[in-house]
Amino acid sequence: MSGLGGLNKTPNGVVLGLVQLQLPNVVTPDDLAAQTQKVVSMVGKARRNMPSMDLVVFPEYALHGLSMDTNPEIMCKLDGPEVAAFSAACREHDLWGCFSIMEYNPHGNPYNSGIILDNKGELQLYYRKLHPWIPVEPWEPGNLGIPVCDGPNGSKIALIICHDGMFPEMARECAYKGAEIMLRTAGYTAPIRHSWQITNQANAFCNLMVTASVCMCGSDGTFDSMGEGMICNFDGTPLVMGSHRPDEIITAEVRPDWVREARIHWGVENNIYQFGHRGYVAVKGGAQDCPYTYMQDLVNGVYRLPWEDEVIHKDGSACGFPPPTRTYQGSSITEASYSGSPLKEIS
């Protein structure tokens, strides 16, 4: 059900808008300021375009483009002017918003971060990309886990970014923590088209969860992002698929209450439940052990592939980045320290 793209909103519906934003070139602080205003103007367009819209979603790299530039002068902070402008736009237009920033990190490479602001402009979700698209992306690996927040009209929402969606564990974690809608923002280019489509569908079906995903769009003179906003129902069926037209806003109504209903009432293919209750027909409550070697090895810090020594790309040198010398320091804050709080910088 898409409610004719959200034109016919039902009492339990959540209308999503995915912005296939034109891919920018951002080199200087002035460029960043101009692109910030472009995003703000698109929040207004979203509201005018669809008065019933609850949440507008901007793609990864909406502010910074695909240059992978880590220049501190164009990096953002949670308490910086870019996020303040987004907050004001959400208040002005009474609209929830999901935004992308490349976040200044005083201790290393910038983070690739995403935020969700409510219709009062208050921060409800703050996420740092766990899986940068290596060896291409230079961003620091995220250290906040995968948060879930309360969304519009009683929904539960999670956010992952681009390459994150290629790991089924990411979507499973979102669902495990209660997400009924998983947003996936991206800057992908055309070679990833098929993988994009099948993972968006599989992430939905395998977790009985709506997925709403959108890329940057158009060309910056070097790269061509593909747009292709895509909203999939909890059974994996695409509700709407976008085109390649820059600045088009793809819309649909989704039903979190139907997600909740399916998770409770489905027997066959209730995979998010059955994963932790294997064979419950044969044994009471099902087997609840962890038979997966890779999970146990990852927890114990000994994850190693049988072909590990033969892997060619183990740093970013193939893409012009110097091999790193720092080791990963782990988590720095807890979700409770930011969820629903006023906007402020978090280290």
Distances (CA, A) of 147 to 101, 221, 268, 319, 338: 17, 35, 28, 31, 10
Tell me if residue 162 is catalytic.
Answer: yes
Nearest to 345 by CA among 109, 70, 111: 111
Out of 76, 90, 162, 215, the active site residue is 162
Q: Whole-angstrom Cα distance, residue 53 to residue 17?
A: 7
Tell me if residue 98 is catalytic.
Answer: no
Tell me if residue 60 is catalytic.
Answer: yes
Quickly count helices (H) and strands (E) in the chain.
8, 14
For tokens 């402008």, what's the residue?
85
Nearest to 282 by CA among 292, 291, 274: 274
Local structure of 153: helix, strand or coil? helix
Out of 9, 77, 129, 156, the active site residue is 129
Beta strand ranges found along the chain (DSSP E): 14-20, 55-57, 96-103, 111-117, 123-128, 148-150, 156-161, 181-186, 210-215, 217-219, 224-226, 230-232, 238-241, 248-254
The tokens describing 128, both together, are 């740092």
Torsion of CA 288, 293, 298, 299, to 10 degrees: 40
Catalytic residues: 60, 129, 162
